[in-house]
């Protein structure tokens, strides 16, 4: 991996391809694969990741909001794009860019039907979201007759899939609950199919679901975090490769005397002489204040350098007393050897949070091998 001269998120396409192929190997050949690229492809680069997934043979993409789907269409992405949380205020853009909404409530269904009618659409693809226990978004069993009545003879739309979402697919202690969710979804989707007289495809499994509940893969599966190298379980992580490596450089080195302080609010005070290095990365780049005061650390020349004091907006200072280093040397925040999961754990959080927090001002660099 080439040396960087500034804070850079390096994206390894070979790792993405490896992860995609591994996850594909866990499902039946005929099962469709949806790649989740919401939140700038989990903090990486939504457009380049979507293009790569398109090349690799993904069947669908998913985003959270309409604006994300618009960016993909404007970049030339042709795959079907599911919008997981569409809002009525964006329906005109959704239709203009041929994005497919997840319909999750009576209100959203009625508003989308009205928009589809006004824009003279026929057989516009929509997805019906069922709530099976996550209690976030979705219809209940009591809504099935209503959905069928509103859609069955309505030429404006066609239901192409029914979906739900597992709440704790990675947690072996919640296996009974996950199986209950799967059973509930199967029941709900079957009842919907009976009312419609045609069979939309079904999808429920996320990354951990693909691994732990392969019997419930139905006609399609969805993977987000797994594509980026994280499986939420150590035995799964062993088969995956982190796509993103966050690197920065040493801007300046200081000799800190006893009783001197480092950073805002004098949050670190030395009780012995030490050497600090200042790095051009801070909470505006996604490294939150919760990583300060010795919790988080970076790696410099294969040695651990804890963060000193508070994280600043644009900088952190780290302890390099026992590290042979100089200004211009690289510092690794996370990557293949020290994963985002490991880094996040120092602040009692998860890989999803640190990955999606990396700001857009951080340079992205593609690595193809």
Give catalytic residue positions: 38, 264
Cβ proximity of 241 and 19 under 8 Å = yes
C-alpha of 228 from chain center:
8
* Alpha-carbon gap, residue 171 to 231, rounded angstroms: 12
* Distance (Å) of CA 308 to CA 142, 263, 358: 55, 8, 20
Cβ proximity of 202 and 185 under 8 Å = yes
Tokens 């490896």, residue located: 18
* Alpha-carbon gap, residue 159 to 139, rounded angstroms: 14
**DSSP-derived pairing of the beta strands 244-249 and 8-12:** antiparallel
Q: No. of H helices and E strands in the chain?
A: 12, 19
Beta strands in 78-177 (DSSP E): 81-83, 100-103, 124-129, 157-163
Q: List all residues 6 or more positions away from 229 whose beta carbon is below 8 Å from its beta carbon.
A: 15, 19, 237, 240, 241, 242, 243, 244, 339
Cβ proximity of 343 and 334 under 8 Å = yes
Cβ proximity of 8 and 247 under 8 Å = yes
* Alpha-carbon gap, residue 207 to 212, rounded angstroms: 9
């Amino acid at each position: 991996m080439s040396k960087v001269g500034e804070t850079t998120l390096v994206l390894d396409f070979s790792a993405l391809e490896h992860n995609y192929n591994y996850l594909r190997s866990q499902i039946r050949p005929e099962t469709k694969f949806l790649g989740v690229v919401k939140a700038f492809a989990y903090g990486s680069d939504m457009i380049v990741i979507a293009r790569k997934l398109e090349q690799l043979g993904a069947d669908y993409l998913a985003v959270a909001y309409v604006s994300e789907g618009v960016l993909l269409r404007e970049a030339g992405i042709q795959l079907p794009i599911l919008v997981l949380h569409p809002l009525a205020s964006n329906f005109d853009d959704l239709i203009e860019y041929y994005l497919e909404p997840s319909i999750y409530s009576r209100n959203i269904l009625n508003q989308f039907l009205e928009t589809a009618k006004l824009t003279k659409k026929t057989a516009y693809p929509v997805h019906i979201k069922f709530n099976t226990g996550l209690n976030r978004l979705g219809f209940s069993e009591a809504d099935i007759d209503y959905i069928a009545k509103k859609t069955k003879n309505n030429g404006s739309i066609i239901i192409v899939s029914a979906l739900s979402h597992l709440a704790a697919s990675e947690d072996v202690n919640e296996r009974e609950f996950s199986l209950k969710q799967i059973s509930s979804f199967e029941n709900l989707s079957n009842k919907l199919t009976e009312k419609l007289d045609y069979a939309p495809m079904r999808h429920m499994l996320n990354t951990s679901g693909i691994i732990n509940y392969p019997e419930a893969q139905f006609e399609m599966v969805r993977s987000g975090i797994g594509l980026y190298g994280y499986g939420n379980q150590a035995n799964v992580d062993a088969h995956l490769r982190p796509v993103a490596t966050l690197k920065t450089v040493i801007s300046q080195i200081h000799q800190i005397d006893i009783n001197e302080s480092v950073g805002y609010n004098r949050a670190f005070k030395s009780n012995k002489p030490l050497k600090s290095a200042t790095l051009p990365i801070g909470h505006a780049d996604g490294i939150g204040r919760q990583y300060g005061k010795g919790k988080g650390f970076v790696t410099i020349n294969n040695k651990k350098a804890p963060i000193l004091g508070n994280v600043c907006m644009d900088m952190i200072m780290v302890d390099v007393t026992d590290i042979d280093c100089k200004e211009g040397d690289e510092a690794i925040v996370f990557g293949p050897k020290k994963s985002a999961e490991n880094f996040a754990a120092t602040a009692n959080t998860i890989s999803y949070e640190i990955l999606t927090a990396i700001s857009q001002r951080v340079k992205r660099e593609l690595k193809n091998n």
